[in-house]
Structure 1
Amino acid sequence: MKGLPAGLPSLREVLSRHGLDARKSLGQHFLLDPVLLGRIVAQAGDLDGRHVVEVGPGPGGLTRALLATSAETVTAIEIDSRAVLAIEELRQAVNGAEGDRLRLIEDDAMRLDLASLVPEPRQIVANLPYNVGTPLLIGWLRQAASWERLTLMFQMEVAERIAAAPGADAYGRLAVLAQWTCRADLLMRIPPGAFLPPPKVFSAVVGLIPHPVQPPPDLFRSMERLTAAAFGQRRKMLRGSLKSVGGEALLDRAGIDPQRRAETLSVEEFDRLAQLL
């Protein structure tokens, strides 16, 4: 039967035993409340039979919440050697009765092809380090077809940028890339006081469910070029900001007014431009 073994030390004990003070250089802020961690994992839906990848488990709070579900396997990716020792202890406690249900990989998630590590159906559930959350997400969006769902925690500003609608202040390149490839929803907000140490800002959990049809790699690269140009000079009209990728000629072919600004374009209009580009 899946679940957590009895007699595990508290997360505070784990922090103390392994000297796991949160390091700013690693973007670490730890969640220790098991009820809150359970609520976060619940946002991922029914994990029965799923192979879940977690990035940056730290002392293992979210890892424990994942193991308490009916997930088939949990694969934890950790770069901090102190946290590796903490998760290794948990791995040994779990795998004594559960085979290889919890796997631990000591490596930098930025360098790994996560989809190659676990079979389908696969999901990512993670409280992402603040300093690498955005580049990690963009890398995963390039392979969105590989994932059933991504349930990710970011600092609030980034979460709002992912889920923003056209015309909103937060709407930009990240919103277009995320919503072009996935349904993106801001699922829950988490106050700074829930973390150890408390960050200066709220955090939020975002749910991303990939669309059934995904853009091929060359089209994704075109969209990255397009959105980088459009939002790199967002105060300019499109005829100016898109000069490097076709400018007015591209906009004319797409039937888009060159006097508009990037934040007014829908994801569908960006798709039309990327297809032409």
Structure 2
Amino acid sequence: VERDRRCIPALDELRAAFEERLTLIEGDALSVDERAVAGAGAHVVANLPYNVGTALLLKWLSGDWPPWWRSMTLMFQKEVAERIVAQPGSDAYGRLSVATQWRSRPRIAMTINRSAFVPPPRVTSAVVHVVPAEQPEGVSPKVLEQLTQAAFGQRRKMLRSSLKQVPGALDAVAALGIDAQRRAETLSLDEWIKLSRALS
């Protein structure tokens, strides 16, 4: 899938060389129905545009589970890759970490120096490998998104302040024995799952 028309002639040469093995779709990856194109059990390999990389990742992580893909090997800006795999308590841990890790297993496969590109970008890149995991039962993706958006949107605030806008959230925090004076980045993935399940 390629949107940049400047790349189409070179890709056309590859398509001609590999005949039926390569299908070229000229268009926006955000609007492509990948399941219809690739079917189930596909492997996604992509050098993602940095401005839509996160949106594409979240698109492929949403919807029915298990997903249509078996693995994803994706290149991001290194800073984004670190957020995807970040653990609780780190500065990089946030909404993207939880959104990715609650139903998949991501890892950084390699970093790529800016000198590998022509022209070299201003940032270092990293390749992230993602495989689907079993989705926790009884968790609504919309509820999890609502909770993490509220909590990490005000990450400097304690949960008692950041989650008060989410109906029932503070009662669930108390029922689960989570200290409401903690901040969002201190909650483990399991605690986010339990909190989402309580509200789902």
Please, what TM-score do these two structures have when normalized by structure 1? 0.68
Residue 236 (structure 1) aligned with residue 160 (structure 2):
no
- Whether 1:114 and 2:38 are equivalent positions in the alignment is no
Tell whether the 8 Å contact from 2:81 to 2:128 is kept in structure 1 after alignment: yes
Are 1:138 and 2:58 matched, yes or no?
yes
Q: Which residue of 1 aligns with 2:48?
A: 128
Alpha-carbon offset, residue 90 of structure 1? 1.2
Q: How does 1:8-157 map to 2 (within 5 A)?
A: 77-95=1-19, 100-143=20-63, 145-157=67-79
The DSSP-based 3-state class of the residue aligned with 1:235 is coil
| Secondary structure at the counterpart of residue 91 of structure 1 | helix
Secondary structure of the 1:145 match is coil
Give the Cα separation in 2 of the matches to 1:213 and 1:235: 29
Q: Which amino acid aligns with 2:149?
A: A
- SS of aligned partner of 1:188: strand
Whole-angstrom distance in 1 between the partners of 2:101 and 2:87: 9
Name the CA shift for 1:209/1:225 in 2 (closer, same or farther; >3 Å). same
Residue number among 141, 162, 184 corresponding to 1:220 in the alignment: 141
Q: Is the 8 A contact 1:172 1:231 kept in 2?
A: yes
RMSD: 1.6
C-alpha displacement of 1:167: 0.3
- Superimposed CA distance per residue, residues 62-97 of structure 1 (whole angstroms, 9 cap, x where no aligned partner): xxxxxxxxxxxxxxx0111221222122101211xx
Aligned residues: 196
Cα distance in 2, alignment partners of residues 137 and 220 from structure 1: 15
Alignment pair present for 1:209 and 2:157: no
| Aligned partners of 1:145 and 1:214 also within 8 Å | no
SS in 2 for 1:106: coil
Deviation at 1:244, TM superposition (A): 1.3
Shift of 1:225: 0.9
Q: Distance in 2 between matches of 1:175 and 1:181?
A: 11
1:241-260 matches, within 5 Å, as 241-245=162-166, 246-260=168-182
Specify the structure having the higher radius of gyration (Cα): 1
CA displacement at 1:275 relative to structure 2: 1.1
Identity of aligned residues (%): 52
Q: Residues 76-130 of structure 1: CA distance to partner in whole angstroms, max 9, x if unpaired? A: x0111221222122101211xxxx1100111111112212211232111111111
User: How high is the TM-score relative to the length of structure 2?
Assistant: 0.92
1:238 touches 1:247 (CA, 8 Å); kept in 2?
A: no
Q: 1:125 to 1:215 in 2, by over 3 A?
A: farther
- Could you tell me how far 1:134 is from its partner in structure 2? 0.6
Q: Structure 2 counterpart of 1:163, which letter?
A: V
Structure 1 gaps of 5+ residues are 1-76
Contact 1:240–1:247 (8 Å) recurs in 2:
no
Structure 2 unmatched runs, 5+: none
Q: Is the 8 A contact 1:163 1:184 kept in 2?
A: yes
